[in-house]
Amino acid sequence: MTAVTIRRALLSVSDKAGLVELGQVLAARGVELVSTGGTAKALRDAGLSVKDISELTGFPEMMDGRVKTLHPKVHGGLLAVRDNPEHAAAMAEHAIGAIDLVVVNLYPFEATVAKGADRDEIIENIDIGGPSMVRSAAKNHAYVTIVTDPADYAGLLAELEANNGATSYDFRRLMAARAYAATAAYDSMISQWFAFADQQQLFPETLAVIGKRVEELRYGENPHQRAALYVPRGPHGHGIAQARQIQGKELSYNNYNDADAALELAAEFRGQDPAVVIVKHANPCGVAQGSSLLEAWTGALQCDDVSAFGGIVAVNTPLDGATAEAICQIFTEVVVAPDADEAAIAAFAKKKNLRLLLTGDLPDPRRGGLMVKPITGGLLVQSRDNGAIGAGDLKVVTKRAPTEQELKDCLFAWTVARHVKSNAIVYAKDGITAGIGAGQMNRRDSSRIAAMKAAEAAEKFGWASSRAVGSAVASDAFFPFADGLLAAAEAGATAVIQPGGSIRDEEVIAAADAAGLAMVFTGMRHFRH
């Protein structure tokens, strides 16, 4: 395909950024400018000669601007195959002039929804003529250049400069691809609003979700895999994908995945006492609360300092210098915090490869939304696991009720367990995880692994006994047999929190009573696969 000289341009934009400068360059090259409404006014106010779209079509803008570009003289000028004799004849017969460049961006539908506009205003900001012109121009990219994003104006001007006022086929093809992506994203946002907001559907018949690439990553979960980070177009939560990176090398796929897991758990303690979460391979390996972040860091690290090496750290309050210095004593991949003071930033600066991410806030752990998981040949979609229980929701099922401290430890362990891969067992005491058992195929082994880690910590730090002694133990799902519960009792746990609901609940309750345990049921399960 050959270069196409730009002789006539149609400009109709909602976002006026860079419009005047673009118009000035086009006019200087002798390009005829055709425009509509506010776009035409902005160009004229800048002293540029502009032909109104009504002069092209022979029809005035009507119906509050709903009908202005939906006309054969517009779309004929966009869609005509220039070297097709029949098309050329039709253009001549009906006085249809060719349009070589279309600069269009669409009504601000997303922004209108975001500001809380009423339904009528939202509907009015569904663009019709704009997407129609974009699609027509993009389809006919062999002859027409389409630009939908002010960020591409510089590229367009560079292309014109390099080609003496023309565009190359490769450039037009690239712009066409971006144009169809823009209309797809726009339609996706409209579809989402109609389904989720207007119709109140949880699982619409068609799930139209579009992502915009933020960056391509070095590789995926493994070096032979490729990966990229996308953010959704339309309503979505803010978290790791929007965090500000203060220092350190680029984040990898695994860094993003693990940092997200750490942030989600840290968010459970939003507005509470200082909390530190240490994550490795998307599993918590130490979690603690304390009177200070430094105290919480010490407690979290002592749970499993072996796994913490090369891990991800997230905190629920702004980072201070003393805590940052302590974190720097071990190899840490990423630290996530709402904010950090100058002393903390200075401490991390000494570790050039450590990534520091500031989120500005913590996500709401109880927010709604959908989780999407690809499977072979399809997508599994479910609502977020945002269910929560409090002390008032618990049912005491044993002869002995938990003490006030045991109850606090139960709820803390339960909070952590919901973020641990199933099968999950968590021992906790005094706001500190004593041992975490994750991802085993049976609950007994998870109990034993968690107890083993607690025993190893006691030996390493010279404690008289494991922190599992006198602890509460949380299980993400019910104990199907008493063996897992008894393993926890052997490790020293005195209180148990679990969903209940097994056909063997009575057997498990009897085992708890025999061991002198206090046990509460939540009535809620938190599988995490």
Q: Are 58 and 35 in contact (CB under 8 A)?
A: no
When pLDDT is cut at 50, 70 and 90, the band that residue 65 belongs to is low
pLDDT of 52 reads 81
200: left (phi over 0), alpha (psi -120 to 50) or beta: left
Distances (CA, A) of 435 to 235, 245, 330, 488: 38, 31, 20, 11
Q: Is the pLDDT of residue 273 over 90?
A: yes
Q: Is the pLDDT of residue 91 over 80?
A: no
Top-confidence residue, 76 or 256: 256
Distance CA(348)–CA(229), nearest Å, equals 25
As beta bridge partners, residue 35 has 11, 52
pLDDT of 360 reads 94
| Segment 516-523 mean pLDDT | 95
| Segment 2-27 mean pLDDT | 93
**Range(s) of the chain covered by CATH 3.40.140.20:** 243-358, 387-521
As beta bridge partners, residue 429 has 432
Distances (CA, A) of 110 to 121, 126, 344: 12, 10, 38
**Range(s) of the chain covered by CATH 3.40.50.1380:** 4-198
Q: Is the pLDDT of residue 60 over 80?
A: no
Task: Please tell me the least confidently modeled range out of 55-69, 117-131, 364-378, 434-448.
Answer: 55-69
What is the model's pTM?
A: 0.89
Tell me which DSSP letter residue 319 carries: B
CATH superfamily of 243-358: AICAR transformylase, duplication domain (3.40.140.20)
Any catalytic annotation for residue 280?
A: no
Q: Are 262 and 336 in contact (CB under 8 A)?
A: yes
Q: Is the pLDDT of residue 219 over 90?
A: yes
Q: Tally helices (H) and strands (E) across the chain.
A: 19, 23
Residues 16, 51, 87, 139: which is the catalytic one?
A: 139
pLDDT in tens, 453-494: 999 999 999 999 999 999 999 999 988 888 888 888 888 999
Any catalytic annotation for residue 529?
A: no
The one-letter amino acid code at 156 reads L
Q: Is the pLDDT of residue 66 over 90?
A: no
Q: Is the pLDDT of residue 84 over 90?
A: no
Q: What CATH number has the domain spanning 4-198?
A: 3.40.50.1380
Q: Is the pLDDT of residue 90 over 90?
A: no
Residues 281, 352, 453, 526: which is the catalytic one?
A: 281
Q: Is the pLDDT of residue 70 over 80?
A: no
When pLDDT is cut at 50, 70 and 90, the band that residue 58 belongs to is low
> 387-521, what's its fold?
Cytidine Deaminase; domain 2 (3.40.140)
Average pLDDT, rounded, for the chain: 92
